[in-house]
Structure 1
Amino acid sequence: MNDPSNSPSRPNLAFDEQRVSDLLVDWEELRDRGKELSAEELCSDCLDLVPEVRRRIKALCEMDIVFQTDKTLDTDVEDDSLPSSITRIPKLPGYEIDSELGRGGMGVVYRALQTGLGRTVALKMILAGEHAGRDQLSRFQNEAEAVGRLQHPNIVQIHEVGEHDGLPYFSMEFVAAGNLASKLAGTPQPARDAAALVQTLAHAVHAAHECGVIHRDLKPDNVLLTANGVPKIADFGLAKMMDEGTRKTQTGLPLGTPSFMAPEQARGESAAICPATDVYALGAILYEMLTGRPPFRGTSALETVRQVIAEDPLPPHRLQSKVPRDLETICLRCLEKRSEQRYATAAQLADELHRFLLGAPILARPSNVWTRAVKLTRRRPAIATLLAISTLAVGALIVMGATYSGRLFQANVTLENEMAKNQRLLSLSFVAYGRVCAIAAKEANLDDSLAVPFSRTPQLGKRYERQFKLDYDLISQAGDPHVQPELDAFWQALQAKKNGESPSNLRQLALELAHACGDAWQIATRDSPELRATIRQHLYDRTCTVVDRLADADSLESARHEYAEFWELYWGELAIVESDEVETAMIAFGDVLKLWKMQGTSAAAGELSDDLQEKAAALRKACGLR
């Protein structure tokens, strides 16, 4: 018997598991409404459950942080292994750089003094510095080009675009009072204030569209505020030029922020991006201002993307009862799944908000009962059928009294909530299974990553260990007998390795864990084919995007993030979905990558280029993409 002291904390199954699960669902729903209860408040009538509920709440909060993006384990690390050019304050002729204001996935912004003019500016430089790849440089140049087209009082203005030591930069007006996200901080705003601010943003967005620029990443973080509260749109790093039809575009991986991206964006449909895509994001901003939360917020980026594509947002008045019905109608019109059902332009949205602020009738009308029924049928056909039957039953039972029909309606609501909860748990389980398998492959040296091995990087090792514990806890809470023994066995071997031992069976245990996770996932989703298909397609889209970027890379060093993600996908999520055709295509592409690596990580692909393109095309075909 293994020593339990060496395992992550295991849940105590002596308590009522169903009661704990119900309490956690209540906690999540209340948190979504802006009211976060402590474990003691939540368990006021069952104090014996307080320790377990407190532990689960802590784990959920930690997972919110871990799963809020889709970054890879290898590259999302803040430690000494990062190039020094990323962490030190740079020097730039003509500027005195004071401090860092913030950074995103591609760029870093500094507060600086432009010495020639004596003015404070925001100076943006590429985050990876001299290690930036072709794709990063292209996106950075794209942002400078996009902002350079725009002259509007509610768009951050660009002062200078330049290059120093071969690296691009540009300076912008400095906006001192932070961003809209910091102002909101989960707090609903007065309806008229929200309408007025989004109206201002809509005018600015329309001006950008008139200049041929679609933002694609509108969100509260990218709305800066002056000292007087004037909003200014910033960060055009994902902007799309409407006249870029001849440029090569990537297929698959959605670009943007899941909670604020339109469905066509979440599906990775680059050709479908249009002005209505930004209208959707403006509606999502309005939704958060009215309710204190975005319209969709899953426990992981994958779950959020699924919600954006497949679910309808909860009407704002359900979260904040004082939201005016006309403003709710405007907001939900922006959030329609089909772009042609939204306001066609941001100008139309601005005009509609103007009518609301004047107290005049708005043009948009709330969805009627039949439209809502169609939406429900599209999203959850089984529940829609049940509700249709229930509707007929309620009609027949009117003469029998309202009590019975009320119970029937409540039963339907309970069933829908239970199904939604199961979908969230299944999505989370998939992420946990994939992460566990990827980490196991790294520890058993099954993969071929460019990342520094775990044993040589304490910071990265701590991240792996923390992630493994979180995933272990999540899988253990599910009580899945198909994977728990293999999970326990690998954890024990991993602890032995950490203590200086050399377990001979680590590789075998890692493979057995991957097979067990795959079997568990197939069993768990056998009654959820739509969810399985959605996750599979999202995963295939992401994989093909990574492979396309590798096939077009100048060197493996310039694409080291994609290289690491390729192997993490292979040993992680792709091992869970188990497709022989996709696995064969991945192995073939991986073999070419290994040959390329033997030439040196700084070397061009050379004669391997055609082979890379051929194998990438074969993988796209295996994934059902072209």
Structure 2
Amino acid sequence: MTSDQPIDPPADATSHRDGETSFGEETLESSHHAEAPIPDSFFSKTSDAPPASDPDDDPVPDRIGDYDVIGTLGKGGMGIVYLARQKAANRTVALKVIRPEHLAGMTAEQRERALTRFRTEAQAAARLDHENMVTLYDVGESNGQQFLSMRYVQGRSLAEILRFGPIDNRPAATYIRQVCRALDEAHRQGILHRDLKPQNILIDAKTDRALVTDFGLAKLTEQEDGLTRDGDVMGTPQYMSPEQARDSAGVTVRSDVYAIGATLYHMLTARPVFQAATVWETLRQVMDRQPVSPRQLNPAIDLDLDTICLKCLEKDPTGRYKSAGDVADELDRYLSGVPILARPISTLGRLRRWSRRNRLIAASAATALGCLVFAFIAVSVSLVQTRSAFERSELSFKQALDAVNDFFTTVSEETLLDQPGLKPLRHDLMRQALQYYDRFLVQRANDPTIADLMGVTHYRVGLITAEIESHEAALDHFDRAIEIQRRGLEDRPQSQVGLRELANSYNARGDSLYHLGRWESSLNSFRQSKRLRQQLVELQSDSIEYRRLLANADMNLGIVFKRCGNLPAAFDALGAATELREQLSQEHPDHPSVLRDVAKGYYALGGVYAQQGMMDSARTYYDRAIDSFSQLVQMPGAIDDHYLLSGSHFARAGLLEEPAGAIEGFRRAMREMAPVAAINPNVDKYQMMLINCGFEIAFRYEQLGQIDDAASTLRSASRTAIALARRDDRSAQEVARILLELARLESSGQGETAMWIHYQRLATDALEELPQSPTLTQLVQEIDSRVESLSN
């Protein structure tokens, strides 16, 4: 049940039984409710390597002052950031300069304001010195170009990381706490950031430390020289506080606190708090709408973290934390397991807010609420009666424990129960098993004759707790299991059963520590697991199972090493895992589990190479994954292998720059998935694979100028999304996303009003097919309002 190959945050932490690896660090399953494959590139490519300059852009200068320019790192609203080498200091830097085209069309007054703002950024950044800020080296001018020289950080921005899905609770809290400490230091020096967002937070690949960058909108709060004029709107709408959306001149420290909450929200849910089709509609939502609780979008979010996030996002600045330092202190309490000071908004409080916005509906809801309370009491009484009846039945201890073990094994290993729609049932069944295990632990706690059973039971309770409660709570059970199992091995050091059980417990402990962001501790546990599994292989070298488990241990180590930024160690461990798996495959070419391990390992290596910008190697390993999965789909019981094969085609196609070749690759992915999806319509991840392939194909068609083909592909994707939304309204967001792209394509060149009218027609048609969808109902209302505004 626990994964032998942990899934790197922010990917989905879907559980797998020990001995089976997950699909890899770049898992095909995201944290989206439908467990959809997240395209590696929809509108842009991402890699850890510095991006090459776009040949269609303005030429990159060879030199700026004392700096030899290597290439373009990125562009912002006012600045271009180059990768450069400073000759005098002999170091690689990020060099930010004013964009020439930004100044060219300005009046003299506008030009002076832009340059003044740029110098303000330099003054602000030069005064800041903190371990969680990007260091400013130099400020200067060359041939009329203003520039800033900053430390070049090897790593990725949070925005890039979040394209793969949300970040787990503890890593997200750890990163945002570091951001808070940096902002608190800036605030103490009178400097506001004013544009905090995932794009402006870098994660250092070497230290795994969050670094705040781009104080490009910083305001020196002690100055009164009017650098920010009343009425200006500066910042990024999705992360902007309501008061900043109304007037940038009125921002305070608590405006940055709001941005902290908006960034944390995005980290936990993989989506902004508010995001509409236009900037002004987004700003209207920021000012007028209450945010949806992050836990409603991602139930895996801890309640305390949800509470902290929503307190930062209060519309009224006085309802937020007073400072970034206060947020950091609150996150310290959360990470330390100490009760936080903030309290969740009560049910009554939420009801009052909702009632103010929905006065007519609130009146009729009061009667329904009374019926709901009555039904809840009836169900509760029935549950108590059922439990009492069960307690009266007695089985022998051994029979009872065997029965629960069989039940646990069946539930944890049943693939169908791991589908999104059945996960609530899976968790309910797990809770039933947990109740019996807990009772056994209490009743037999002092029985020395069953120590082995106690160890295994703690291990299994830990697995269940990690899945349905938290990894933090699971650690205590894994530690107890390890303590008991280590004592047992003192008398029987060569016991294969004892070695395997202890290795499994260390592996499970490493997995939970990994998801909690404790990388070094996770590595230590995985090292122990590998050591024990190595002993098992030495005791029985012909065991397929023991060798598979040893390879999985190396894969785990490789993924954690990569997460820590130790790439040489990561490649060594991943290479060792792949080598052992390939040996097993040669010896047992018809063994499905062995071949599946090999294929998943190839896929994982392809993803690692792709992220490092080593595209030839990435293609090689994706091709190997495709060959291996192609063999697996010929074997009986290989339904999910079709999905994995489709995902491998999808990943490889995403590496192709040439649109026609990419289209063919995504079509291969669709051809592989379509028959399986047709006979398994209730498996959401299969349907999402088809939808995402359609999106990618439509985008490539648009690149080729084949607008009709792009639109036809999107219409097909919308039909699949509508079918999904009939089962789960959250998929209506996919419908909205597709229809917006379709409206944009089919009304290209006709103006904004025409686009909105077409979007209105498409969304209204979709609502007729999904009349009970709250998401589409709200969408149509907002589109109607927008069209009316444009018409007036």
TM-score range, shorter chain: 0.5 to 0.7
Q: Is 1:144 aligned with 2:122?
A: yes
Q: Is 1:128 aligned with 2:106?
A: no
Asked if the contact 1:198–1:286 (Cα under 8 Å) also holds between the matched residues in 2, the reply is yes
The TM-score, its normalising length taken from structure 1, stands at 0.53
Deviation sequence 1:402-427 (CA, Å, 0-9, x none): 99xxxxxxxxxx9xx99x99xx99xx
- Paired residue secondary structure (1:189): coil
The alpha carbon displacement at 1:288 in A equals 1.6
Asked if the contact 2:30–2:165 (Cα under 8 Å) also holds between the matched residues in 1, the reply is no
1:185-204 to 2 correspondences below 5 Å:
185-204=163-182
Aligned letter for 1:475?
I
Q: Is 1:259 aligned with 2:246?
A: no
Give, in whole Å, the separation in 1 of the partners of 2:322 and 2:751.
47
- Paired residue secondary structure (1:178): strand
The alpha carbon displacement at 1:285 in A equals 1.6
Of all paired residues, the percent bearing the same amino acid is 36
Asked if the contact 2:760–2:783 (Cα under 8 Å) also holds between the matched residues in 1, the reply is no
The alpha carbon displacement at 1:96 in A equals 0.7
1:115-514 to 2 correspondences below 5 Å:
115-128=87-100, 131=104, 133-228=111-206, 229-271=208-250, 273-378=251-356, 380=357, 383-395=358-370, 466-468=748-750, 472=754, 475-476=757-758, 478-479=760-761
Give, in whole Å, the separation in 2 of the partners of 1:367 and 1:388.
21
Bigger shift: 237-246 or 257-266? 237-246
- Paired residue secondary structure (2:180): helix
Aligned letter for 2:92?
T
Aligned letter for 1:234?
T
Give, in whole Å, the separation in 1 of the partners of 2:327 and 2:751.
47
Deviation sequence 1:304-339 (CA, Å, 0-9, x none): 222211112211111211211111111111111111
Unpaired runs of 5+ residues, structure 2, are 1-28, 45-53, 379-725, 763-777
Give, in whole Å, the separation in 2 of the partners of 1:123 and 1:205.
22
Aligned letter for 1:468?
Q
Aligned letter for 1:317?
R
- Paired residue secondary structure (2:196): coil
Aligned letter for 2:77?
G
- Paired residue secondary structure (1:159): strand
Q: Where does residue 453 of structure 1 map in the other structure?
A: none
Give, in whole Å, the separation in 2 of the partners of 1:240 and 1:348.
21
Asked if the contact 2:254–2:321 (Cα under 8 Å) also holds between the matched residues in 1, the reply is yes
Give, in whole Å, the separation in 1 of the partners of 2:299 and 2:376.
29
Aligned letter for 1:389?
S
Which stretches of structure 1, 4 residues or more, deviate above 3 A after TM superposition? Answer: 30-38, 396-403, 463-467, 469-474, 476-480, 527-536
Closer, same or farther: CA 474–288 of 1 in aligned 2, 3 Å: same
Aligned letter for 1:204?
A
Bigger shift: 227-236 or 248-257? 248-257
Give, in whole Å, the separation in 1 of the partners of 2:133 and 2:786.
40
Deviation sequence 1:585-619 (CA, Å, 0-9, x none): xxxxxxxxxxxxxxxxxxxxxxxxxxxxxxxxxxx
Give, in whole Å, the separation in 2 of the partners of 1:368 and 1:239.
36
Deviation sequence 1:426-475 (CA, Å, 0-9, x none): xx89xx9xx9xxxxxxxxxxxxxxxxxxxxxxxxxxx9983438964652
The alpha carbon displacement at 1:373 in A equals 2.6
Asked if the contact 1:150–1:208 (Cα under 8 Å) also holds between the matched residues in 2, the reply is yes
The alpha carbon displacement at 1:268 in A equals 2.3
Larger Rg: 2
Asked if the contact 1:282–1:334 (Cα under 8 Å) also holds between the matched residues in 2, the reply is yes
Asked if the contact 2:32–2:165 (Cα under 8 Å) also holds between the matched residues in 1, the reply is no
- Whose helix proportion is higher, 1 or 2? 2
Q: Where does residue 108 of structure 1 map in the other structure?
A: 80
The alpha carbon displacement at 1:79 in A equals 11
Give, in whole Å, the separation in 2 of the partners of 1:471 and 1:36.
35
The alpha carbon displacement at 1:216 in A equals 0.9
Q: Where does residue 681 of structure 2 map in the other structure?
A: none
Aligned letter for 1:298?
A
Give, in whole Å, the separation in 2 of the partners of 1:342 and 1:266.
17
The alpha carbon displacement at 1:374 in A equals 3.2
The alpha carbon displacement at 1:375 in A equals 2.4
The alpha carbon displacement at 1:384 in A equals 3.7
The alpha carbon displacement at 1:479 in A equals 4.6
Asked if the contact 1:34–1:187 (Cα under 8 Å) also holds between the matched residues in 2, the reply is no
Aligned letter for 2:202?
L
Bigger shift: 94-103 or 295-304? 295-304
The alpha carbon displacement at 1:135 in A equals 2.8
Give, in whole Å, the separation in 2 of the partners of 1:294 and 1:400.
36
Asked if the contact 1:90–1:97 (Cα under 8 Å) also holds between the matched residues in 2, the reply is yes
Closer, same or farther: CA 33–388 of 1 in aligned 2, 3 Å: farther
CA RMSD of aligned residues (A): 4.2
Aligned letter for 1:325?
L
Give, in whole Å, the separation in 2 of the partners of 1:79 and 1:162.
27
Q: Where does residue 70 of structure 2 map in the other structure?
A: 98
Give, in whole Å, the separation in 1 of the partners of 2:132 and 2:787.
38
Closer, same or farther: CA 342–533 of 1 in aligned 2, 3 Å: farther
Closer, same or farther: CA 247–188 of 1 in aligned 2, 3 Å: same
Asked if the contact 1:283–1:331 (Cα under 8 Å) also holds between the matched residues in 2, the reply is yes
Aligned letter for 1:128?
P
Asked if the contact 2:60–2:71 (Cα under 8 Å) also holds between the matched residues in 1, the reply is no
Aligned letter for 1:223?
I
- Paired residue secondary structure (2:340): coil
Q: Where does residue 47 of structure 1 map in the other structure?
A: none
Closer, same or farther: CA 195–399 of 1 in aligned 2, 3 Å: closer
Give, in whole Å, the separation in 2 of the partners of 1:465 and 1:476.
7
Give, in whole Å, the separation in 2 of the partners of 1:476 and 1:179.
36
Deviation sequence 1:10-69 (CA, Å, 0-9, x none): xxxxxxxxxxxxxxxxxxxx999464879xxxxxxxxxxxxxxxxxxxxxx99x99xxxx
The alpha carbon displacement at 1:185 in A equals 1.4
- Paired residue secondary structure (2:97): strand
The alpha carbon displacement at 1:261 in A equals 1.0
Closer, same or farther: CA 239–293 of 1 in aligned 2, 3 Å: same
Deviation sequence 1:250-277 (CA, Å, 0-9, x none): 3335211111111111222522x11111
Give, in whole Å, the separation in 1 of the partners of 2:174 and 2:148.
31
The alpha carbon displacement at 1:172 in A equals 0.7
Give, in whole Å, the separation in 2 of the partners of 1:304 and 1:341.
22
Bigger shift: 334-343 or 284-293? 284-293
